[in-house]
């Protein structure tokens, strides 16, 4: 079965923003429709919230990994197995850039 939906800019901006952010759009829509049906067919709102939170928590490692990749984009990090780097040694260039960023962000 194919269902067509028309969304209007202005009136449905929140739905459009949510939909555009979904990686697997079909699965996301099926999930939302099922949750709506469950809510209106007797399941408690608490059970639905627990289900949604569990789903979001399952994605958390991917979200954190993407955020870390984004934060480290553009930095050249030394390979931990590089023989000329003493284990545990601090990279002075990287430490200086990190200190400058932290000072800029928190004003110290």
Residue 58 sits in the same domain as residue 27 = no
DSSP per-residue letters across the chain: --------TTTSHHHHHHHHH-SSHHHHHHHHHHHHHHHHTT--HHHHHHHHHHHHHHHHHHHHHHHHHHHHTT--PPPTT-TTS-TT---HHHHHHHHHHHHHHH--
State pLDDT tens for residues 44-77: 777 778 888 898 899 889 889 889 888 888 887 7
pTM given for the model: 0.37
pLDDT of residue 11: 92
The count of domains in the chain is 2
- Both 26 and 63 in a single domain? no
Q: What are the pLDDT digits (tens) for 10-26?
A: 999 999 999 999 999 99
Identify whether residues 34 and 12 lie together within a single domain: yes
Q: Which domain covers residue 24, as residue numbers? A: 1-43
Residue 18 within a domain: yes
**Whether pLDDT at 87 is above 90:** no
* Residues 36 and 56 occupy one common structural domain: no
Instruction: Evaluate if residue 83 carries a pLDDT over 60.
Output: no
Average of per-residue pLDDT values in the chain: 83
């Amino acid at each position: 079965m194919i269902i067509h939906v028309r969304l209007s800019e202005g009136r449905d901006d929140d739905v459009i923003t949510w939909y555009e952010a979904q990686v697997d759009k079909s699965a996301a829509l099926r999930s939302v429709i099922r949750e709506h049906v469950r809510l209106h067919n007797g399941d408690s709102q608490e059970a639905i919230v627990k289900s949604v939170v569990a789903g979001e928590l399952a994605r958390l490692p991917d979200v954190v990994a993407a955020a870390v990749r984004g934060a480290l984009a553009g930095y050249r990090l030394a390979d931990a197995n590089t023989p000329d780097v003493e284990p545990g040694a601090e990279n002075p260039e990287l430490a200086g850039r990190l200190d400058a960023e932290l000072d800029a962000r928190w004003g110290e």
